[in-house]
Amino acid sequence: MDGHGDGGGQHDSQRYSRRRGCHETNLQCLRLDTFALQQLISFFFVSAPSAKAAQSFVAMPGLTIGDTVPNLELDSTHGKIRIHDFVGDTYVILFSHPGDFTPVCTTELAAMAGYAKEFDKRGVKLLGISCDDVQSHKDWIKDIEAYKPGNRVTYPIMADPSREAIKQLNMVDPDEKDSNGGHLPSRALHIVGPDKKVKLSFLYPACVGRNMDEVVRAVDALQTAAKHAVATRVNWKPGERVVIPPGVSDDEAKEKFPQGFDTADLPSGKGYLRFTKVG
């Protein structure tokens, strides 16, 4: 049909094969280019670290909810700490700070020390990290405790002078740098569960201090949700009603929550908003 004269079909077949070969080659090149671009982005994002650190970072780009926290071993104010061993079978609040002897960080660590008993009641351990060395941390603690007398810093603060750990923990602030141009930690906070997975994360810029009451509330909500297989509504606080997940049928809810539940009367007529109380 498109051929001209004898053997046209054969020529068409050869042209088709050549075009197909070109398309396949182009597709392979596109895949290679995409892969190369991803590698370049990963490389430059971590400020060109060592090959070993880059491989580790690429393997876990952007630690987030549901990811297993890397089992790093770092020096700390309490000696060597391996993160998974520290977590054990408890919850851990792992939080980072842009630097020692900085104003907002000092107020935060003092507040965290003041809330330590509240976290301990909930079976939650505290673990800080900052990119200065251990001796700097120990000297800084004196300032923190002097700022809030009575708030003793009993939790460990890990050291990360190479700044490789904060990259693997997804705690890098892209905008904040030191005098040498090196990236600083953000005000990141991961709540890690007994399964070593990140359950919840907060991420603040260096200019905004964290709200410790919200961290406590988040811990309560996570533990309540895990214990009773429920969800917590907006601004929920312990003792208030919780939400029954949509995947639980009414019949299942009656069996699971013998104390009963209320269903909101909505214009859609869909009974998806159900509230109950749990102990």
Q: Which residues are catalytic?
A: 105
CA distance 156 to 86: 10
| CB within 8 Å of 206: residues ≥ 6 apart | 98, 104, 173, 175, 176, 184, 186, 187
**Across-strand partners of 177?**
183
Residue 195: which H helix or E strand, with range? none
Task: State the DSSP code for 239.
Answer: T
Structure tokens at 155: 């939790």
DSSP state of 231: B
Q: Is-contact 191 197, C-beta < 8 A?
A: no
- Write down the H helix ranges in the chain: 8-45, 51-59, 83-87, 103-114, 116-121, 134-147, 165-168, 212-228, 250-256
Please give the Cα distance from 78 to 138 (Å, whole number).
Answer: 10
DSSP assignment string, 109-169: HHHHHHTHHHHHHTTEEEEEEESS-HHHHHHHHHHHHHHSTT----S-EEE-TT--HHHHT
Residue 64 gets the label, from left (phi > 0), alpha (psi -120 to 50) or beta, of: beta
